Amino acid sequence: MSPVRPRGEDAIPSDVAPAGAPAVEPSSPPDALSGPPLYAALDLGTNSCRMLIAAPRGSQFTVVDSFSKTVQLGVGLEASGRLSRASMGRTVQALRICQKKIEKHGVSRMRLVATEACRRARNARDFIRQVRRETGLSLEVIPAEEEARLAVISCAPLVSKRTEQLLVIDIGGGSTELVWIDLSAVAPEDRPRAIMGMRKGFTAPGQPLARVVDWISVPLGVATLKDQFADVEDDAARFALMSWYFEENLAGFSPYHAEQPREGFQIIGTSGTVTTVAASFLGLRRYDRTKVDGLRMTSTQIDTVIRDYLSLGPDGRRTDPRIGRDRHTLIMSGAAILQALMRIWPTDRLSVADRGLREGLLYAQMSADGVLEDGPYR
């Protein structure tokens, strides 16, 4: 597979598409008009269906309700090029729950997006029509470049004031997005705000300039990479091959080639893989977002967790409470991607982000409506 490969700061669209009219007509509860407007953001990926409903609060937002379910929409897509009837059925059931939550809360603004599986499937249009017919929800299939930019926006609160070069990685089910941003021309105190300014475009007038040097969307995520090496029986060999293969697909995208860690370089990782590795490192038998989001891990700590996963083997990972029932079959392909990324760039630390596309969608919608205050983001 060839990665999507536009280059330069103008490769990503300059504006977030404005949120359209609500996909369903919400029935407003009695108190819907008494508080701030509610916004919904839904991310339908290759493996999961996730939604947040939130209200603006200061420069950020407060989550009112959430939903997350493993739907495995992309099962069989690698071989057939189509979404299967079973996977579409599971996904529609999950989307019905989302529709009920949207209606219950009287959501007035929403953006409901689908990513890699729907970008690739030959029958994606039929699936989108089925969703509309059976749930009343209108899904929008967004390009990889917009997915990457929205993930960057969501990570703004985690950008250090000392960061001059930033790499944001988003490991999905069907693809992995990477964006390299040069912040060296931005005053240190303005760097988190400069990233948030990308919600109005990467070079929006009046915003501190955060220059997008390069970006890439590799059509390999935790599900698609796993499928490519499913015939390799040995667990350790399969992991090594997956990591090597992913690195090969990054041959043309390497911000730096350095043997020693470089000051001012920050990697922020956002994905279920990254947060699971962080939770495993912390020994969390029950996931706690407040302990994971913003955690900084060293390469040695990440490697220790991955070696532990390998020593457990498939059976041990299946019953490990730190990994979870929905993640155990995908954690090694995700770990292979993560290890490759940490191996080739000049930093030995990773900032963990329990945030991503949904948060970026919320920030973009609220910014377009002018309901976010301009203030500190941490």
Task: Please report which confidence band the pLDDT of residue 262 belongs to, taking 50, 70 and 90 as the band edges.
Answer: low
For the chain, domain boundaries: 18-141, 146-357
Over residues 100-122, the pLDDT tens digits come to 999 999 998 999 999 999 999 99
Residue range 264-287: average pLDDT?
92
24 vs 228, residue with greater confidence: 228
Residue range 79-94: average pLDDT?
96
Identical topology for domains 18-141 and 146-357? yes
Task: Please report which confidence band the pLDDT of residue 370 belongs to, taking 50, 70 and 90 as the band edges.
Answer: confident
The whole-number pLDDT of residue 364 equals 85
Model confidence at 260: pLDDT above 60: no
Under CATH, to which class is 146-357 assigned? alpha beta
d(CA 51, CA 147): 15
d(CA 177, CA 119): 14
How is domain 18-141 classified at the CATH fold level? Answer: Nucleotidyltransferase; domain 5 (3.30.420)
The whole-number pLDDT of residue 200 equals 52
Over residues 288-314, the pLDDT tens digits come to 989 999 999 999 999 999 999 999 999
